[in-house]
Amino acid sequence: MRMHTVVALTDFSTAAEHAVDRAAQLAAAHQARLHLLYAAQHHDPRFADPQARLEQRARQLGRRHGLPVTALHGAGRGVAADALQAAAQADLLVLDRRMQPGWHAWWRPCVLARLLRRAPCPVLVVQQPAQGAYGHVLVALDAAPAVPALLRYAGALEASARVELFHACPVREPCDATLAYRSQEQRRVRLSDAFEARRNRVDLRVGAQDLARQLVVQQERAGADLIVLGHRRRGVLAEALRGAVARRLLRGARCDVLVVPHDGAGPPRERGRAVAAPGWG
């Protein structure tokens, strides 16, 4: 897997610039184009001309990383709509997740939910400063037949990272896709399951198999700096009833989170033929 286009959202805040820096690092590693989009729900009076500042930022990143960087012009239809339009022909959408509480938080739940639910490409939510390449990638798995597509994407995102496969279902034996991945990849891959952490065992015993909590526990235990999980698109009502695992994971995990839609694990031209990934989120 090689990315060709990465889109990053920013409003020039510290958290957003962490996401831009991560997007630039990944674009440079994959020799991809980087597109920047100014995305703010409310105009900041400190920036008289946000587009001019965005173009300046694009030039800075282009010189620093030696890659083509373009400042996109938003259509003015809102953060989610402009981001979805920019991501239509992208291989990765990168944004930050605001942590401040209250009604005036920039990334309102409805906006983040819409991007996770409708983005045509994987969405990387950056929660930590970009300090070099990812070193430990935790991939959430179940027994779905589409695991190989998710593994290929997660394994190729950061070629030097150690990949850990997390079984989020009460199954002791690894699935056929996991065994195939271990036999084909040369890097070190360690299997784990939900029974390894004490709090996970308690959850299973009382019947509260909370996937988001299990992943947070395993991430803290393993020290992973990126969690990867699949996201099967559902209707608004079904998602509300089942609970949005991806959004709950973002509230609990301290590392970055990559959400891969079931048809978004390949280049834009191939998404319609992609195999469905596990349905969490």
pTM of the model: 0.81
Q: Which pLDDT score is estimated for 241? A: 42
- Residue appearing with tokens 């990934």: 277
Please report which confidence band the pLDDT of residue 268 belongs to, taking 50, 70 and 90 as the band edges. Answer: low
Q: Which pLDDT score is estimated for 155? A: 85
Percentage with pLDDT > 70 across the chain: 67
Domain with CATH 3.40.50.620 in the chain: 5-125, 136-273
Q: What is the pLDDT of residues 116-133, one digit of tens each?
A: 888 999 999 999 999 899
Pick 91 or 250 by higher pLDDT.
91
The yes-or-no verdict on residue 177 having pLDDT over 90 is no
Please report which confidence band the pLDDT of residue 24 belongs to, taking 50, 70 and 90 as the band edges. Answer: very high
Pick 167 or 151 by higher pLDDT.
151
Pick 216 or 184 by higher pLDDT.
216
Average the pLDDT over 73-99 and give the result: 87
**CATH 3.10.290.10 given to domain 136-273:** no
CATH fold of 5-125: Rossmann fold (3.40.50)
